[in-house]
Structure formats: C-alpha cells, structure tokens
Amino acid sequence: MRPWRAAPAAGARVALVAPAFALPDGALGGAVAAIEALGLSVAVGPHAACRSGPWAGDADERLADLAWALTAEDVDVAWMARGGEGTAEVAARLPWAAVVARGMPVVGMSDITALHGGLCRRGIPSVHGAMPTTGWDPFQAGAAWRALTAPPPWTLDAPPGAPPPTALRGGVARGPLVGGNLTVLAAIAGTPLAPDTRGAILLLEDVDERAYRLDRCLVQLRLAGMLEGLAGVALGTFTDCPPVAGLTAEAVLERHLRPLGVPVLAGLPLGHGPVQSAVPLGVEAGMDADAGTLTVLEAPFARAGARAVG
C-alpha cells in the first residue's frame, strides 16, 4: 500500500469529532487537554458537544463534523472522541472522493470500526487506537501516536503486568491488518463499509456481549464471506463477555476460528481492556502466533520530510 500523505509531526493540528454517541458531561475539556499534552493543537468539531438522544447531534450534524475532519486542508489528524453507535450511518454518507483525495490519518476504535472499514476498503490507512474521552492514560496516548508515526518494523508491546498473547492456533502469517470491533464488523458485513479481508490478518475484539451474541456475529462474518481466504486472525480483548449456559467467549472463538486453518493469536492488548495499545490498519503486518507477536511491517503514512502522495 502506498502512503497517502506525510505522517503527522509535533505541533500537528488535530480535529476532534464525535460521529457516534454524545460525550459524557464535562469530558470535552479533558479530551482537548489530553491531546494537547502530546504537543498537538486541537480544533473541536462544531457539533462535538451536541446531543440528540444518545448521539452527539443528529445524523446531519455528525456527518458535517466528520466530513470536515476528513477533508479540511488545515487539519493533520482526525481523532474520534468516542464510540458507541452511529458511525456507520454517517460514514456511509461521506463525500468519499474528497476523503480519498485527502487521505487523512484517523484514530479511533470500537464503533469507529465502521469508518476504519470504509477507509481500508478504499486503500486509506488508519489507526485502531484509544479515544480521549474513554479513560486515556500515557500508555494509550503514546501507543496511538506511535501507530501514527513510528517507522517500521515495530512489534506491539504488551503493557507492564499484562499476560502475554497466546496461540489459539500456531503458525506465521503476513498480510494487511484489517478489522476491529466484532459486533460492528458483523453489522457492516456486505455493505460498502466492509473491509476486504481476503489475504488479510483480521483483528477482532469486543465488549459487553454475551457469548451467544459473539457466536451470531462470527456466523454473520462467515456467511458474508469475510472469514474466507484469511492469512491469520489477531484477537484483542473480549471484555465483560459473560458465558451463557456454559458457553464461553473463548469456546465461541475457538469453534469458529480454529477450523479456518490459519494462525490465530489471542490476548493482544487491543480493544476495550483496562490498558489499550494501538496499531495501524490497512498496512502490511506479520504475526507469529507461536512467539506471540504482531509486528507492523509498513508505515501507514510517509515519513516526515518525504513526499506525500495521493
């Protein structure tokens, strides 16, 4: 994959927008301060503090903010403030030709998976990383910045004290890293927002879903052809996903993923766990399930000083 534009640098201007759920009361100021602590400047979307039911404004308001963040000439990074639900509705209505032409670096996770999928489908890298209204800490913030800017190769680090990843099925895989939240991927399967998973390492994580709901989502991915031709599967955290009638999340994942015959690495520090790392999506990655490593092999954006293209 070719880089679309130069990687952001110190002093970059960040557009902070909320394409899904409304921000918690008082969270916006803390989010701005958290991003500024990275040495960046922040421009807040005009409707970021709005509320319409559970959402950060109605669909038109959220679309306006997201389209501005992804196409503005004076913005260097579009950082999503929160997930929840609603991103797919507005991402589907984006002016995609202008978005592709700009190639804006995007950071977010959870419901933002719908935006990541649309970007990856169109060849634009993005970053699966923590959002500043959901309990940022220095590790999470630094991990997101590294995913945006670090020259490859680099290997995803487990946070201090975290258990190491383990192989659900051993082996080595290489391919573009795509995916994100399992529930959202199932919801966008078969739509123009679904990423192309053939030949890819598929990242999956989730939160607050009972085991049978995870089963339903994996069946949906299989029926939509999104589990065919994978190079491997990288599993992040499945947080607060309780068993039902003895059926566990771990058993569901093993039942659907082991028969694929590809390497599966579980327990990566990606998702909704207490400490989240970050990785670029849509770029080449290598995975060694036996060694418990996921390595980024390609820069999502051109190095500083390099010619931006696209």
For the domain made up of 13-151, give the CATH fold.
Answer: Rossmann fold (3.40.50)
pLDDT digits (tens, 9 = 90+) for 52-99: 999 999 999 999 999 999 999 999 999 999 999 999 999 999 999 999
Give me the mean pLDDT over the 147-157 stretch.
94
Q: Where are the domains of the chain?
A: 13-151, 155-296
pLDDT band for 161, please (50, 70, 90 cuts): confident
> The pTM is what?
0.94
Give me the mean pLDDT over the 27-39 stretch.
91
Whether residue 38 contacts residue 141, with contact meaning beta carbons closer than 8 Å, is answered with yes
> Quick one: angle between helices 211-223 and 249-257, nearest 10?
20
Give me the mean pLDDT over the 198-219 stretch.
98
Q: Is 73 a catalytic residue?
A: no
Residue 32 in this model has a pLDDT that exceeds 90 = yes
C-alpha distances (whole Å) from 79 to each of 34, 179, 276 are 12, 18, 16
**Phi, psi dihedrals of residue 259, rounded to the nearest 5°:** -65, -10
Least confident of 8-12, 72-76, 224-228: 8-12
Whether residue 107 contacts residue 14, with contact meaning beta carbons closer than 8 Å, is answered with no
pLDDT digits (tens, 9 = 90+) for 89-143: 999 999 999 999 999 999 999 999 999 999 999 999 999 999 988 767 888 888 9
Q: Which CATH architecture has domain 155-296?
A: 3-Layer(bba) Sandwich (3.50)
The active-site residue out of 47, 110, 116, 209 is: 110
The active-site residue out of 116, 209, 272, 284 is: 272
Residue 146 in this model has a pLDDT that exceeds 80 = yes
Q: Is 47 a catalytic residue?
A: no
Handedness of CA 179, 128, 22, 249 (dihedral sign): positive
Beta strands in 119-171 (DSSP E): 126-128, 154-155, 166-169
pLDDT band for 260, please (50, 70, 90 cuts): very high
The active-site residue out of 61, 205, 284, 298 is: 205
Least confident of 16-20, 146-150, 280-284, 299-303: 299-303
Q: Is 41 a catalytic residue?
A: no
The pLDDT value given to residue 308: 31
- Other CB atoms within 10 A of residue 47 CB: 22
Question: Could you check whether 13-151 and 155-296 share the same CATH topology?
Answer: no
